[in-house]
């Protein structure tokens, strides 16, 4: 039995992010944390506000960009010895040429954000810009020396500087299917292009070595050479970042829909088709829709794939009532899939979200917002 149509509500891109579907199941099938992870994880803007802070995680389809660590560069100080001639006259005072100490730098980790999107849409993509910090090697000099019978000139190198390298961000707007006006209407596919931020490099920086040659005073006092070693700051590369293209396939509008990608599948069921208003008891006509979902699960999913069942309501009524109703409806669908659909109960997890995760903005009035009254059944195929 194939009853899958489409309701302009929580499509696959939304079912895996805004609707919370699968956000409790890690790719290996183990628990990946509690509900609401999307709300608590730092955004790219938060990471940029604290330059050395990394985001704890990137939620949904967003891509984690690894930090680039830049090692410190340090060289030892060079000692200038005191030199006296044979009469005890000081020809050169003792001193020190400071070493170089360039602290470690970093390009913080970021999230290439894939925004949550309403049903029938692919979320906007924002790859934030990044900065490779500037670096400076200070100047260095060896003093000259002049005495009877000898004159050795000073040696010096100016400071060396590389300015910061700015990597511009890249973005792509949200794209949406045209909203159907009636059941059975064909809705065209849409595609969001891949988004690419190119790699950038800060070149290496060096300060040449310095050497003041040796000499000998008129009375035979030997003046040793002084050398300051070369200093090198290696080049730094920030790799490219790519968010792959995505696509929503064409579909036919109706009461229930199945949406697939390479790694996931989601079934969106209109609550008004399954339940009477305010009830969690299945209507007589609901069974054919649930049977189609059960058959499709058996055909398309691995036998051990974990399945999330989520209940959602609109905002008519109190928040607590809606939360309770969404939980009971999710449990009703779970019970049917176990008792009548032949699905192992250990693979299923039911969660109610009440009115907290609308697919579209809620409207006031007695009719509420039908698009938000839904049950979403979803799983990973891989």
- For the full predicted model, state whether its pTM sits above 0.75: no
Mean pLDDT in residue range 264-275: 84
pLDDT at 61: 82
pLDDT band at 291 (very low <50, low <70, confident <90, very high): confident
Looking at residue 182, what is its pLDDT?
A: 60
More confident residue, 367 or 244: 244
pLDDT of residue 10: 37
pLDDT in tens, 195-241: 999 999 999 999 999 999 999 999 999 999 999 999 999 999 999 99
- 219 vs 36, higher pLDDT: 219
Return phi, psi of residue 212, to 5°: -100, 125
Residue 73 in contact with residue 233, Cβ under 8 Å?
yes
Read off the tokens for 248.
Answer: 């929503």
Which of 52-61, 267-276, 302-311, 327-336 has the least mean pLDDT?
52-61
CA distances (Å), origin 118, targets 8, 122, 176, 359, 368: 9, 8, 9, 5, 17
Query: Is residue 62 predicted with pLDDT exceeding 70?
Result: yes
What is the reported pLDDT for 117? 78
Region 375-381 average pLDDT:
86
Q: Tell me which residue has tokens 């730094």.
A: 236
Per-residue pLDDT of 162-194, as tens digits, reads 999 999 999 999 998 887 666 556 778 889 999
Give the model's pLDDT for residue 242: 96
Amino acid 264: pLDDT: 79
Considering the chain, what percentage of its residues have pLDDT values greater than 70? 81
8 Å CB contact between 202 and 233: no
Output 51 or 298, whichever has higher pLDDT.
Answer: 298
pLDDT of residue 35: 34
Q: Does 158 have pLDDT greater than 90?
A: yes
**The two structure tokens encoding residue 166:** 């700015």
The predicted model gives 72-79 an average pLDDT of 97
- Compute the mean pLDDT over every residue in the chain, rounded to the nearest whole number: 82
SS3 category, 358: coil
User: Does 251 score more than 70 pLDDT?
Assistant: no
Q: Which helix (H) or strand (E) holds 166?
A: strand 165-167
Helix axes of 319-339 and 286-300: crossing angle, nearest 10 degrees: 60
What digits encode the pLDDT tens for the residues 18-28?
333 333 333 33
Q: Looking at per-residue confidence, does 80 or 360 come out higher? A: 80
Q: Out of 12-21, 25-34, 291-300, pick the least confident.
A: 25-34
Distance CA 344, CA 54 (A): 40
pLDDT at 247 (0 to 100):
84
């Amino acid at each position: 039995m194939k009853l899958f149509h489409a309701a302009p509500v929580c499509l696959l891109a939304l079912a895996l992010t805004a609707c919370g579907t699968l956000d409790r199941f890690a790719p290996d099938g183990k628990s990946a944390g509690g509900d609401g992870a999307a709300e608590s994880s730092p955004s790219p803007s938060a990471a940029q506000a604290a330059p050395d802070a990394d985001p704890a995680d990137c939620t949904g389809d967003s891509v984690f960009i690894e930090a680039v660590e830049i090692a410190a560069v340090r060289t030892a100080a060079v000692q200038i010895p005191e030199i006296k001639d044979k009469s005890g006259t000081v020809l050169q005072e003792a001193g020190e040429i400071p070493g170089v100490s360039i602290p470690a730098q970093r390009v913080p980790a970021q999230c290439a954000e894939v925004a949550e999107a309403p049903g029938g849409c692919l979320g906007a993509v924002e790859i934030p810009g990044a900065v490779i910090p500037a670096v400076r090697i200070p100047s260095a000099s060896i003093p000259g020396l002049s005495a009877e019978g000898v004159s050795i000139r000073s040696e010096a190198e100016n400071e060396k500087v590389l300015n910061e390298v700015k990597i511009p961000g890249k973005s792509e707007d949200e794209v949406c299917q045209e909203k159907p006006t009636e059941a059975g209407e064909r809705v065209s596919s849409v595609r969001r292009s891949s988004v690419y931020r190119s790699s950038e490099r800060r070149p290496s920086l060096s300060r040449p070595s310095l050497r003041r040659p040796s000499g000998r005073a008129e009375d035979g006092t030997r003046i040793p050479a002084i050398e300051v070693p070369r200093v090198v700051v290696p080049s730094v590369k920030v790799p490219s970042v790519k968010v792959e293209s995505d696509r929503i396939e064409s579909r036919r509008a109706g009461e229930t829909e199945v949406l697939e990608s390479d790694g996931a599948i989601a079934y969106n069921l209109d609550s008004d088709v399954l339940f009477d208003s305010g009830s969690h008891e299945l209507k007589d006509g609901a069974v054919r829709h649930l049977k189609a979902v059960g058959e499709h699960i058996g055909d398309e999913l691995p036998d051990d794939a974990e399945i999330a069942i989520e209940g959602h309501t609109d905002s008519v009524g109190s928040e607590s009532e809606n939360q309770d109703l969404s939980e009971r409806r999710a449990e009703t669908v779970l019970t049917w899939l176990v008792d009548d659909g032949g699905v192992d109960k250990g693979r299923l997890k039911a969660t109610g979200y009440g009115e907290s995760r609308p697919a579209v903005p809620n409207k006031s009035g007695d009719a509420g917002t039908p698009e938000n009254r839904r049950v979403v059944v979803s799983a990973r195929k891989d």
